[in-house]
Amino acid sequence: MKVSRMALTVAFQMDPMEGLNIAGDSSFALMLAAQARGYRVFHYTAPELTWEDGRLYTVATPVKAQREVGNHFTAGEPVLLDLGRDTDVVWMRQDPPFDLSYITATHLLERISSETLVVNDPASVRNAPEKLFVLDYARFMPPTMITRSLDAARAFLDKHGEIVIKPLHGNGGRAIFKVGRDGANLSALMEVFNAAWVEPHMVQAFLPSVAAGDKRIVLVDGEVAGAINRLPGEGEIRSNLAVGGRAEKTGLTSREAEICAALGPELKRRGLLFVGIDVIGGEWLTEINVTSPTGIVAIDGFNGTDTAGMIWDAIERRLAERGQA
């Protein structure tokens, strides 16, 4: 890992440090890479943001990360940071849900984006929810419906035989249900979903090829950095590592390369430097993850690459283009 010529101050807006699973956490990997380059690293949580008199502040803690389970960081004394004046880069890395709190944080961080590089770009994050932004690339997607209507979901089931229902702004493989051809639990599921969420839900044709894996492909500033294939556990349709899936080394199919080539320029244009897309069966695009994508630790473990370093290289290039070098 190289030492940077830039002496950057970096603030990570993310979940509490105490709860990190350092074995696979991408934010932690980014912190370690930042330290190796000589950057100053701070941590804070989104609820600590304060706006006053045209300035955005937070109480942040200087941290030193170390790959030691149970003792993975050392915290200094908290300080008050003006995120526009005192930092060069702000990372927006808190996990979803993509709710009003998340959206509010994007609005606040957008107000400093002319002074400080916010990654990913907050306006673009706000305008690219994972399961809605992907609709721009419907030609690569499995048959999909966005609805709260039981009648519409029944008609979709009749058309496609087996379907999957998931929350529109869910994450980590949570609350994903398969409905069989008989539709026995469809009415109850739609009732539960409509009670739990005010927005519509994503309904997709079930893809049997999910048994062969759900590929996470990471793009850095629009370019492919690597991929892992995530295999579902026994008796599961969900392959997310957070719910017991396992990862294996993989490359890209020609169709996946085509998908990445189609997405890459738009991701770069929007300032989405670190993105993870999900592809099933080597051909079906299901999500474009821009809020807090993961997967780089597993990718680097299989490939011997340095994706965190690639991301910081991309950030340094962006800063140089902005005249902040």
- pLDDT tens, the chain, 325 aa long: 444 557 999 999 999 999 999 999 999 999 999 999 999 999 999 999 999 999 999 999 999 999 999 999 999 999 999 999 999 999 999 998 888 999 999 999 999 999 999 999 999 999 999 899 999 999 999 999 999 999 999 999 999 999 999 999 887 778 899 999 999 999 999 999 999 999 999 999 999 998 888 999 999 999 999 999 998 776 666 666 665 678 999 999 999 999 999 999 999 999 999 999 999 999 999 999 999 999 999 999 999 999 999 999 999 999 999 987 5
| Cis ω before 120 (30° cut-off from 0) | yes
User: Which residue, 71, 65, 15, is CA-closest to 40?
Assistant: 65
CATH class of 143-206: alpha beta
The pTM of the whole model exceeds 0.75: yes
Backbone angles phi and psi of 203, in degrees to 5: -120, 125
Active site residue 131: yes
Active site residue 178: no
Active site residue 248: no
- Catalytic member of 289, 300, 306, 316: 289
Q: How far apart are CA 235 and CA 296, in angstroms?
A: 27
**Candidates 3.40.50.300, 3.40.50.1100, 3.90.470.20, 3.40.50.20; CATH matching 9-122+309-322:** 3.40.50.20
- Catalytic member of 126, 215, 230, 270: 230
Q: How far apart are CA 293 and CA 245, in angstroms?
A: 16
- Catalytic member of 93, 215, 238, 270: 238
Active site residue 2: no
Structural domain boundaries in the chain: 9-122+309-322, 143-206, 209-289
Annotation: CATH topology of 209-289 = D-amino Acid Aminotransferase; Chain A, domain 1 (3.30.470)
